[in-house]
Amino acid sequence: MAKTPSFLPYNPKLKAIARRLRNNMTPAEIVLWQHLKGKQMAGYDFDRQKPIDEYIVDFYCKRLKLAIEVDGSSHDSEESQTQDRYRQSRLESFGIRFLRFQNNEVRHETEAVLSTIRAWISSHSVS
């Protein structure tokens, strides 16, 4: 099995874009961020709109190497889904794992989403 790098590549040109995204989060991202920020999720620190490689993930926990994506209708097209699969595969090659939720899930089934995240963390937590 190939060893994943201990550091994640980063494109500094994405910093300004990430900042803009943090200042213009979707309603679903805002809802989820209210439960992830400040180590509220099982004591783990999450960043929002985190640049990694040539991409920006919605939420990222460095310690767990976990990216959480909140997908809206812009991800529904075949082309977008193909791009998402490529992007996710690329980031997984760095050892990053993913949880994906739909906007409507986060907004209308928040507790179920939070339970899914907690369960994932419980079964993958690092000491």
Entry pTM: 0.89
Identify the residue whose tokens are 């709109």. 49
Q: What pLDDT is attached to residue 1? A: 45
Q: What pLDDT is attached to residue 81? A: 81
Whether 58 shows a pLDDT value over 90: the answer reads yes
Domains, the chain: 25-117 (3.40.960.10)
Give, for 48, the enclosing helix (H) or strand (E): strand 47-52
The predicted-structure confidence for 65-114, as pLDDT tens digits, reads as follows 999 999 876 555 677 788 889 999 999 999 999 999 999 999 999 999 99
Whether 2 shows a pLDDT value over 70: the answer reads no
pLDDT above 90: percentage of residues in the chain: 77
Q: Which of 21, 32, 109 is nearest to 70 (CA)?
A: 32
The predicted-structure confidence for 5-44, as pLDDT tens digits, reads as follows 567 888 999 999 999 999 999 999 999 999 999 999 999 9
Count CA within 13 A, CB hemisphere, residue 116.
Answer: 13
The predicted-structure confidence for 73-86, as pLDDT tens digits, reads as follows 655 567 778 888 99
CA distance 38 to 47: 10
Q: What pLDDT is attached to residue 73? A: 61
Q: What pLDDT is attached to residue 127? A: 57
Q: What pLDDT is attached to residue 77? A: 64
